[in-house]
A and B are shown apart, each in its own frame.
Chain A
């Protein structure tokens, strides 16, 4: 039995990583770190996609992961451009300081 890993372990790992991503997203104030927490969540979801793909012996999960990666790449390009613009205008990376729409 030492030669096989139960599928639930992979899913649990995925859940742990996702929860850590959520925690980072909620607790951190640096906009880049918040963004990285989102990437962490996407990675966690990818792991469960690939795991389910193994369970059903089907390639579809891999395709979903592939699309998530493409979307993540597009998101990173646009998101980092936005961060650069925000930093140019306000010279801060703290998301609490970016509040000119508040009042």
Chain B
């Protein structure tokens, strides 16, 4: 059951990721990326990361990608003009070889001793995340909040109209 779930959503993720790269229209890429994020959220659930799965959908798919779609719609961005696909001739085989190498090394470094079962790890609930966030990771948490403040100010400065 777990294997079937993993294979289904891994295949969806990879197919959508390929779509992100090969689609010429940015909105198709954006929607494929939402597909990747959705299937990753389900894989997170399989790994026992409930909170991260929910945050993935709320923050990534629900906020960041909506922002992307919004900007694409706002700029009315058209399809990318194709300037030939010459890069695919050396690129695609190289990519496949590279992926094969990576997969091989990952398999060697992590022999299948650890198996993932649904429910094998239950420490990823909101309570555990909150506890770790406000004890061990308090400083990074506060620093991130300053980062967000900086980002907000930066976005406002960039996007506002020039005052004459």
Most chain B CB neighbours (cut-off 10 Å) among A30, A67, A71:
A30
Q: Is A102 an interface residue (CB 8 A)?
A: no
Encoded as 1 (CB less than 8 Å from any A CB) or 0, chain B from 20 to 38 comes to 1100001001100100110
Complex contact A72–B43 (CB within 8 A): no
Complex contact B133–A63 (CB within 8 A): yes
Partner of A9, one of B10, B21, B98: B10
When chains A and B are docked, how far (Å) is the Cα of A97 from the Cα of B13? Answer: 32
B148: which A residues are within 8 A, CB to CB?
Answer: 70, 73-74
Chain A residue at smallest Cβ distance from B94: A23
Partner of A71, one of B52, B147, B154: B147
Complex contact B2–A33 (CB within 8 A): no
Interface residues on B, range: 35 or more
Complex contact A84–B133 (CB within 8 A): no
Complex contact A23–B21 (CB within 8 A): yes
When chains A and B are docked, how far (Å) is the Cα of A85 from the Cα of B95? Answer: 34
Complex contact A84–B75 (CB within 8 A): yes
Complex contact B124–A16 (CB within 8 A): no
Complex contact A65–B52 (CB within 8 A): yes
Complex contact B151–A77 (CB within 8 A): yes
A74 shortest CB reach to chain B, Å: 4
Most chain B CB neighbours (cut-off 10 Å) among A4, A29, A62, A69:
A62
B81: which A residues are within 8 A, CB to CB?
Answer: 94
Partner of B121, one of A39, A46, A57: A57
A residues contacting B by CB (< 8 A) are: 2-13, 15-17, 19-21, 23-24, 27-30, 32-33, 35-37, 39-40, 43, 46-47, 50-51, 53-55, 57-60, 62-63, 65-67, 69-78, 80-85, 87, 93-94
